[in-house]
Structure 1
């Protein structure tokens, strides 16, 4: 344990022992068996942690081999966002057409594929698309024995969409109070069960749904999806300002349609410019740059997230990276809040005996 205390979590910048991440450390016949309990199953730096833990264990006299295994427990900051739900994460944009729903679906699918318990709420009431992207457009939301909405399951995650509650193709002509009531039902009257992350696909803009959500549940943070050109960045800045006013941390920015790789030549084209998201200012991590990829669109139309259907394509790899970077940001936020709370709980005056 002394040797392992020299290994820091690369994102949390504290040692694994003080963070309580070493679940087991045993030595038998010169072989060290070490189990590390990560702060998220989607840890982006798992390989680095494994390498450094092994190197530290091999410095102990008598240890000739180190076997490192992993578990994961998603940390939760203070109170749960909802009963059984550790984190509510909003995926928003200042305008439509930037691929926000595609990003939200693939983030959720990637986190679920890594082993997290994930829910996906399609809060774009007027233009729901999540059900189609998950191949569940014909499915219907039912009620359980407690008369709560039973989320539909697909690809290892739970989801609810207005598309599964209203007749296909029917336009919803609702005013603000009806939207507020619907949002409250989606989050409070649904049997989400035990979730590590509830991903919420927001409608474009900064309107009633966004306001209702931030007032209804304890939101861990938000992700901003934008494209590189200025017209999208102007609206993304408005979305950031809205979350700031609602006291919702912005966990990072996703630059979608960042570039295009020609499949025949491999040449890279910056169709909408590139790197524009950095203009949004410091303090908002760039979670990833996702290229334009026809297979993302084709997979969405076919009802299979691209990160599952074609995980080796450039866009899918980028989206998987975004999901893991997001999980890392959530872990950093949760652990920092744990530390701040523990310091706040200390007595005002300490007496040295």
Structure 2
């Protein structure tokens, strides 16, 4: 039976084109997990080697598939490069990984009212539909709407046995998503009036004192703006990438620019822009599309920052109606244009981190 040692030995055949050293001695293989008949390899390339990525991925897959008892090779791309010596000497806080979570995706917006939570919920559902183990953390402490959008607002999460720091919150599971939200812990309509230290404390508890079980992706719905929650999160855990949500309106772009600048200053990798409410599609004339909030805002923002425009999500009446019923449209009506756009977004995110 193929072992981790066998896999590592075989991977020594994969060489860097420049130095001719192998990927093991260069420490470009971050992790290898063998569960017959599958091998999962985490590949961590320095920026100067990104041009070799496709070749290296192909060669890694080839040498591992040579083993008779291996028929599936999954390659994950670690987009958090190792710190340089200067970074290690700086005052940047050490980031603490969350056991059992491979990738953390933050969904953010510079202002409220752009549909950020809708994006986060439907992205999580679409990732789960791709067969990926997915969690959703509603860190929008001041407006925790995801329980209502997922149809679980009346449920109460349980805790594991034990006491003190050993106790962990058990997420609510719906549509294949492990969900944790402040909305489960407060009464409906109750305001959350917290200053920074208390806010930071609850976010850390939601990250580290929850029974997250071996997730491929944890999608985090951040509160709007550039305040304590975003800073606390970015300085607590290694975020794999952030998505910034905007609408085509100029006023939305101004706020989104501030959000982008914040993540850049905090050293959080940016995955790209999602333009929500790009067009309105009337139900009686689905061939018609009306640009009621303007045109091209998301593309402009993406080009300004040399980022991809990941998705343009239209406004559809069922998108609103189904959300009010507690059923994300990506679950209830997968053939709608917005659902297809969410599915394509999830596929892009998957491809960014998991190569099959």
Tell me which interval the TM-score lies in, with the shorter structure as reference length: 0.7 to 0.9
Aligned equivalent of 1:37: 73
Determine the C-alpha separation between the residues in 2 that align with 1:130 and 1:112.
Answer: 16
Matched, 1:272 2:293: yes
Aligned match of 1:139: 155
Is residue 249–residue 294 contact of structure 2 (8 Å, CA) maintained in 1? yes
Contact 2:96–2:236 (Cα < 8 Å) also in 1: no
Q: Does the 8 Å CA contact 1:222/1:251 hold for their aligned counterparts?
A: yes
Corresponding pairs, count: 287
Deviation per CA, 1:282-315, whole angstroms, max 9, x where unpaired? 4211111111111111111111111110000011
TM-score where L is the length of structure 2: 0.74
Partner of 1:98: 114
Return the alpha-carbon distance in structure 1 between the equivalents of residues 127 and 96 of structure 2. Answer: 19
**Corresponding position of 2:307:** 284
Q: Secondary structure at the match of 1:232?
A: helix
TM-score normalized with structure 1 length: 0.75
The 1:307/1:207 distance shift into structure 2, 3 A limit, reads same
Correspondence 1:314 to 2:330: no
1:71-123 CA-to-partner distances (Å, cap 9, x unmatched) read xx676857983111111110000000100000000000010111101110000
Q: 1:131, 1:163 within 8 Å by CA — same for their partners in 2? A: yes
Matches of 1:324 and 1:22 in 2, distance apart?
26
Quote the Cα distance in structure 2 between the aligned partners of 1:11 and 1:269.
Answer: 43
Structure-2 change in CA distance of 1:19 and 1:81 (3 Å): farther
CA contact (8 A) 1:252 1:326 kept: no
Cα pair distance change 1:242/1:142, threshold 3 Å: same
Does 2:192 match 1:172? yes
Gaps of at least 5 residues in structure 1 are 28-33, 40-72, 336-353
Residues 22 and 118 (structure 1), Cα distance of their counterparts in 2 relative to 1, 3 Å cut: farther
The secondary structure found in structure 2 opposite 1:268 is: coil
The residue correspondences of 1:42-81 to structure 2 (distance < 5 A) are 81=97
- RMSD of aligned C-alpha atoms? 2.7
Q: For 2:110 and 2:156, locate their aligned partners in 1 and report how far apart those are by CA, in whole Å.
A: 30
Q: Does 1:121 align with 2:176?
A: no
Equivalence for 1:183: 203
The alpha-carbon deviation at position 323 of structure 1 amounts to 1.3
**The residue matched to 1:283 in structure 2 has which SS?**
coil
1:109 aligned counterpart, secondary structure: helix
Q: Which has the higher mean CA deviation after the structures are superposed, 10-19 or 95-104? A: 10-19
Q: Distance in 2 between matches of 1:328 and 1:11?
A: 17
Match of 1:222 in 2: 242
Q: Post-superposition shift, 1:322? A: 1.1
Secondary structure at 2:327's aligned position in 1? coil
Counting only pairs closer than 5 Å after superposition, residues 2-21 of structure 1 correspond to structure 2 as: 13-14=54-55, 16-20=57-61
Per the TM alignment, residue 328 of structure 1 is displaced from its structure 2 partner at its CA by: 2.1
The SS at the match of 1:141 is coil
Alpha-carbon contact 2:273-2:311 (below 8 Å) kept: yes
d(CA) in 1 for partners of 2:71, 2:66: 7
Q: Is the 8 A contact 2:74 2:354 kept in 1?
A: no
CA distance in 2 between partners of 1:318 and 1:311 (Å): 10
- Alignment check: 8 A CA contact 2:120 2:219 kept: yes
- Note the C-alpha offset of 1:35: 4.9
Residue 258 of structure 2 corresponds to which residue in structure 1?
Answer: 238
